[in-house]
Copies of this chain bind each other. A is one copy, B any other.
C-alpha cells in the first residue's frame, strides 16, 4: 500500500497554542512543572484529544500517558512515538510538545489517509522530562525503562520537602509504582519527534535531522558551607565566604569544559542558591547544580573528575565544608538501526533532505533506547534557541516533521520482526 498521511498543519499549530495556555507564566513564557495546576490541566487537555481521535488511553502510577491505536495484530509489540509536555520556568512552547502533538497528529494523519496499522501504534506522553521539581530529568521514561526503581522513586523529595509519593497521590495518580516499568519487549520501536535545540539544521538549511546517538548527560549537586556573619563587621581575613568558593567553582566548570579538547563537551552551572541571600550578610551556604555532557562518555567523565577535584581544592584552601552528589550519570545511547532505516526511507519517500546528527540535549529517548530500538527526528528551531520564551519552530517544519513521522510509524507498524539492534527487512506492500 502507498501511505499518504494527510497532516493538518493548522490544527497542530492551534493545539500547540492551546497547550501553551496551560502555564504558570503568561505567554510566550511557559512554566509547566510536574503535577502543578498547569501540568494537570495540560494532561486533561491531551487525554481529551487522544480520546477524540479514538485512541485507548491509559495512565500509569507516575502519570505517563499511553494512547493506543490498535492494529490488526494487537498481540505483537507496538510501535510508539511521543515526547514530554512539561516545561522549565520561563521556557518556550515547542520543546517536547512538538513530539506530543506531532505524534498525535501523525496518528490522525494516518487515520485520515485510510491506513490500517498491523502492529498497534501508541502515543506515549512522558511524565516530567525536565528535572525542575525533583532534580532528576526524564523521571517518567527512567521509570518505564526500570532505571529508577520504585524504592528510589519513593525517596524523591521536591525542594519544599514534599515526596513524589505525596504529590502524585494529590494529583490523583495512585497506581502502584511496581507496575510502571514496562515488560520486556513491550515496544517494537520508539521514535521521538523533537526540535533540535541547536542551530545546525537552520544554519545548513536542512529541514530534518535523524539522530544517530544521544550524548551522555550527567549532573552534580555541590553543597558549600562556610561561615556567615555581618557584612560590615566580619573582617576579610576571617571570612569563609561560601559564595566566593562557589564563584571559583563556577569558573572552574566553565574552564574544564572549554579545555576538554572537544567542541562537544559542555558544562553548565545552571542553578545557584545562596543563603541567607541578603546584601549585608556574608553568604554562609551555597547550593550549585552542574550539568556536564559529551558525546564521548570518557571525556565527559574526565570533566566530572576535574570538577570534583576542583571543588575539593577550592574548599580546602578556603576552609569550607562541601559535599558533591552525582544526581545522574547516564551512558550515551545509540539509535536502533531498524528505526534509523525507517526514518531514512520515510525521508526518501517524502523527497526531503535530512542530516544524520548527534543530540547533545537530554531526551526521554535516551531511556527508551534501553528497552526498545529507538531513534529521534529533529526539526529546526530558530537560532538554536530553546528553554526560553522566544523558542520557535515554524509551522511548515512542524508539519513536515509530523508527515515524515507518520510515514515512519506506518513502516514500523507494518514491519514483521521485532528488532534488537540487528538489521531486519521491512515488509512494505506498495
Contact = CB atoms under 8 A, between A and B. Distances in A.
A293 B282 CA distance: 13
A92 B282 CA distance: 14
Interface string A289-322: 1110100000000000000000000000000000
Interface string A107-137: 0000000000000000000000011100101
A269 B243 contact: yes
A415 B279 CA distance: 40
A101 interface: no
Contacts of A89: 276-278
Given A89-B277, A272-B274, A291-B279, A197 B362 contact: no
Contact of A254 (B230, B244, B265, B275): B244
A270 B279 contact: yes
A279 B244 contact: no
A263 interface: yes
A239 to B, nearest CB: 8
For A233, A243, A266, A361, the residue with the greatest tally of chain B CB atoms inside 10 Å of its CB is A233
Interface stretch (A3-11, A52-60, A168-176, A384-392): A384-392
A294 to B, nearest CB: 10
Contact of A247 (B230, B246, B263, B267): B246
A233 B382 CA distance: 13
A339 to B, nearest CB: 21
B277 A271 contact: yes
B233 A197 contact: yes
Nearest to A251: B247
Contacts of A247: 246-248, 250-251
B198 A233 contact: yes
B277 A236 contact: no
Nearest to A132: B278
A240 to B, nearest CB: 12
Given A231-B268, A233-B196, A268-B231, A280 B362 contact: yes
A278 B282 contact: no
A90 B270 contact: no
A281 interface: yes
A229 B388 contact: yes
Contacts of A284: 388
A283 B235 CA distance: 31
B270 A277 contact: yes
B88 A276 contact: yes
A223 interface: no
Contact of A283 (B91, B196, B228, B270): B270
Given A230-B386, A243-B250, A272-B274, 19 more contacts: A88-B280, A89-B277, A131-B279, A132-B278, A217-B232, A219-B280, A229-B384, A229-B385, A230-B387, A231-B266, A232-B266, A237-B263, A244-B251, A247-B250, A269-B283, A270-B277, A271-B277, A280-B362, A280-B387
22 contacts: A88-B281, A90-B276, A91-B276, A131-B279, A135-B279, A198-B230, A198-B234, A219-B279, A219-B280, A228-B387, A228-B388, A229-B384, A236-B265, A243-B250, A244-B251, A247-B250, A268-B281, A270-B274, A270-B280, A271-B277, A272-B277, A280-B387
The 9 closest A-B pairs by CB, nearest first: A247-B247, A279-B289, A232-B361, A231-B268, A247-B250, A197-B233, A198-B233, A230-B386, A231-B291
